[in-house]
Structure 1
Amino acid sequence: MKIATWNVNSLNVRKPQVLIWLAQQQPTILGLQELKQINEAIDGSEFTALGYQILLNGQKTYNGVALVYQSALGEPSDVVYDIPGLEDPQRRVIAATFGDLRVINAYVVNGESIESEKYRYKLNWLEVFSKWLAAEMAQHSNLVVMGDFNIAPTDADVYDPERFKDAVLCSQPERDHFNRFLEMGFTDALNRFSSEEGNFTWWDYRGGGYRRNHGLRIDHILVSPAVQAKAIACHVDKEPRGWERPSDHAPVVLTLA
């Protein structure tokens, strides 16, 4: 079984690439972020033709998340489209249970800059998100949380730590939240399986970021202990980042026995 996450930075633009990647890699479940489309604007028939179904929580212009899953899995249960109890117009979360596997796909707030209101919104959002994940962990032994977290957990996850020191994505309060996930019992799957230096998931379009490997590791797959026991590999598939008109993110892929 392969579970993957990919911030596509507009499904309208990147849909052909997503379909090619699905056909090539055949993940069991794929979480998408930054759809930038409402549900009604997304034609699911092309996914169906490849043997997939899609759960959507879209939003025009910004945000939006989806879970694409193999039709053979059957209809998922306990589908959640936003963080329960959080009144938020931004579509950032979708979750579903496939058999005994609970999957949460999230697009965490970027935060813009540490001086901005968006940064305070990010920290508040992470606080609520953390409490929800703790409740989900207590309820589901087989739990995968994936997505664009917009947090580089350590200096090793940044191409130039000095440049990003105390900046958004790398500030200590953000990293503290990520560490809280690990303290709950989650394993950072990519960090567990890859010690490769410069193993980034995002590269700026500007300044030849991808060509120079000036990137950050901000896309993550977190797994509960029961899922970690089945994990055999996790890697960044950098190939789509080199395609024409790519997303600025690359997929992260977890393989389970």
Structure 2
Amino acid sequence: MRIATWNVNSINARLETVVRWFEEARPDVACLQEIKCVDEKFPAEPFERLGYNLAVHGQKTYNGVAILSKFPLDDVRRGLPVHPDHGGDGDDHARYVEAVVSGPRPVRVASIYLPNGNPIATEKFGYKLAWMGRLQAHAHSLLELEEPMALLGDYNVIPEPRDAEYPTNWTHDALFQRETREAFRTLKWMGFSDAYLEANGAPGAYTFWDYQAGAWQRNNGIRIDHALLSPQAADILRGVSIHREVRSWEKPSDHVPLIIELEA
């Protein structure tokens, strides 16, 4: 089973590019982020024509996540639970959708668009850390199910200096703050594995290049799109690929797709 994650940076603005990639890559499951539309405005028809079932959690103009699957989607959850220590009551950001992909080997999958958190001297950084706390709490409860599970998406976290071409450029950015990286490591200490590190781990495997200052041309990239696997999913991991070439296509997203392959 090939499961992809991709921040498309507006599904309707880049529909032709996204559909082209789906036609060429043919993932079994795809987790999309930053779809930037309400559920009713998601362009379902071209994906349904390709054989995909959809679970969409959208929001007008901002955020928005979706799961597209060639297998039925069950037990769909939209949004993270409220947590007494990390809040969430009244949080209307569409950043999380989860479902069980009912394939030959069922896999629980989540599409995650973690808050950016900049500027760090504002409430936006506090919201990022609180959201990560809610994710940790929910992920811990999911681990108790002891099932294959993949939490994929744009985490807006640069885990280590090796995950940036120019680490010093990110010293004062929310993506690279000590608290951000510690919160990400907490997920791994709970029992999740970083699929890319498990399968390859070579530095320079970036998934994002900013539109500004010739970042793509200078390879000023960062690795912020991740797939975290439960132990049961890590045991059946067969490979990871990053579709770097998509960043050079016409009207690209600033992110590129990442695909994990699990034994079916």
- Using structure 1 for the length normalisation, give the TM-score: 0.96
Query: What residue in structure 1 maps to residue 92 of structure 2?
Result: 89
What's the offset of the Cα at 1:167? 2.5
What are the within-5 Å matches in structure 2 for residues 1-257 of structure 1? 1-70=1-70, 73-74=71-72, 76-85=73-82, 86-87=88-89, 88-99=91-102, 100-257=106-263
Aligned length: 254
Task: Give 3-state SS (helix, strand or coil) of 1:36's partner.
Answer: coil
Amino acid at match of 1:56: V
Task: Give 3-state SS (helix, strand or coil) of 1:255's partner.
Answer: strand
Identify the range of structure 1 (51-60 vs 191-200) with the bigger mean alpha-carbon deviation.
191-200
CA deviations 1:170-213 (Å, max 9, x no partner) are 00000001100110111100122223331110001111111211
In the alignment, the residues of structure 1 paired with residue 227 and residue 122 of structure 2 have an alpha-carbon distance, to the nearest angstrom, of 28
In the alignment, the residues of structure 2 paired with residue 166 and residue 191 of structure 1 have an alpha-carbon distance, to the nearest angstrom, of 25
In the alignment, the residues of structure 1 paired with residue 27 and residue 146 of structure 2 have an alpha-carbon distance, to the nearest angstrom, of 22
Task: Give 3-state SS (helix, strand or coil) of 1:133's partner.
Answer: helix
In the alignment, the residues of structure 2 paired with residue 40 and residue 141 of structure 1 have an alpha-carbon distance, to the nearest angstrom, of 32
Please list every run of 5 or more consecutive structure 2 residues that lacks an aligned counterpart in the other structure. Answer: 83-87
Task: Give 3-state SS (helix, strand or coil) of 2:100's partner.
Answer: strand
In the alignment, the residues of structure 2 paired with residue 55 and residue 127 of structure 1 have an alpha-carbon distance, to the nearest angstrom, of 24
Amino acid at match of 1:97: V
**2:244–2:256 contact (8 Å) kept in structure 1:** yes
Task: Give 3-state SS (helix, strand or coil) of 2:202's partner.
Answer: coil
Amino acid at match of 1:77: D
CA deviations 1:62-96 (Å, max 9, x no partner) are 100000111xx23x221000012233110000000
Q: Which consecutive aligned stretches of 4+ in structure 1 deviate over 3 angstroms post-superposition?
A: none
CA deviations 1:202-241 (Å, max 9, x no partner) are 0011111112110110000011111111111112111111
Amino acid at match of 1:96: A
**1:33–1:106 contact (8 Å) kept in structure 2:** yes
CA RMSD of aligned residues (A): 1.1
Task: Give 3-state SS (helix, strand or coil) of 1:248's partner.
Answer: coil
In the alignment, the residues of structure 2 paired with residue 53 and residue 226 of structure 1 have an alpha-carbon distance, to the nearest angstrom, of 24
CA deviations 1:101-149 (Å, max 9, x no partner) are 1111110000012112101111111111110111111124211100000
Amino acid at match of 1:135: S
**2:81–2:134 contact (8 Å) kept in structure 1:** no
